[in-house]
Structure 1
Amino acid sequence: MKIDYLTLFPEMFNGVLNQSILKRAQDKGLLQVNTVDFRHFAENKHNQVDDYPFGGGQGMVLKPEPVFNAMASIEKTADTRVVLMCPQGRPFDQSLANELSEVEHLVFICGHYEGYDERIRQHLVTDEISMGDYVLTGGELPAMVMTDAIVRLLPGVLGNNQSHVDDSFQDGLLEFPQYTRPREYQSMTVPDVLLSGNHANIEKWRHEQKIIRTFEKRPDLIELYNLSDEDKDIIERYKKQLKND
């Protein structure tokens, strides 16, 4: 995968892209990243990239010329997806991370100030994506978060290609509880089923825990999940347990 970032602050990416999983993905040749400072593509002697909005209003708006020129400098393919980081966009979630992990080339346009000239949105962008119902100073942080979520899904990036299969949201549910050594710590013990060696029972317990945890912490996800009759029974037993407790 190749990822280009159009940004006014390319140095912001150095720490994140050169650590941990993202660095290893580049070392393995599975990821190629490039930052483009679109200030260098401004068509004025002061390299000005923003201006006052027509019609008046607060703040400054990113001019179209620097962004259009910067995009023209990037080699694109038929598979290129151009992502505008925007609070008006589609909310980013695990399903979108999976979708974008299949793309060969991503371009993130990271804006600042009050917003973008609308012609950028209309003529350059394939996807508008939001990290949530709040406003940040710029698009760099959301682009880095999305990069981490997407790249870890690429085959060969994680040490075990199955590592992300049980992640929260991957199947619409939250992840089951995890335990490791020691078996007992400050009188707190690991559930016996995980020590039984019976893989069928372990998988059954883990699924039950996913259903319960999602019902308890994210009931909105449970409403969207296709519950089986067995899943519904798990929830009913859990409700009765809560009443008895």
Structure 2
Amino acid sequence: MDEIAWDEFAEEYYIIQEESQIPIVTDIVDYLYKESVLPAASLVDVAGGAGRYLPVLAEQVDKYELNDFSAVMLKYAQQKAKHSKVSNVVFKKQTFTAFLNSTEQYEVIFSAANPAFTKTEQVEKLMKKAKKWCVMVRVIKSEDDLFTAIDDELGLAVEDPNSTPTISNRIEAFLQRKKILVKKKDFTYQIKETISREFLTEYYEAEMTAELKERIEKLFNKKNELISTTTVTYRLLLWQITEESSKA
């Protein structure tokens, strides 16, 4: 999405993150602490969006910078910083390309769910800006036992590279070819949600057929609601900047 689209999506994105029951933020920060990445003198949250990681990460560093190319996303992040009462945060409106081409360095570069981070040449630029560590977090799996199955049957499923291992695998393979030690850690969660018969019927109204209607009837089995389980897996890649890696 372009900047305008992200600005329009910002409020919904913020609400989704605020309502999420997945403890990915604390789990990742705990992992980085165990790996001695944290605490740190400086950390930049690249494409930090509405500040999902801000409250917890900011407590672990002396200087925390969050940058994003969406002005509305940054407003939500600033709001979160105010509510969290952290004062060591700097906000910067900046595209990922502009960030990579800038000269400022940070002890830790952290990039989670960054849709612009897809190419191996970006890794090389990123490593020139990191003094000690690079951290990349992406969703590699997101599927449920209800909508995913129906979408597959109807031919509606579209592969999203931002929810598959494709990009993460590409970056990991690149680092391995450069003989850079990269650590990989998966975090898997299951979310249960109540789905009503009415909602599911309305959701597939445009694709409704006799076969699908019968399928829905069987799913609910005379009930008005059922429980859908979504499985989400995040993958974290962590690599250290050393004299050897900086020359790779």
Q: Could you state the TM-score of these two structures normalised by the residue count of structure 1? A: 0.26
Give the number of the structure whose residues are more often helix, by fraction. 2
Q: Which has the higher strand share?
A: 2
Which of the two has higher C-alpha Rg?
A: 1
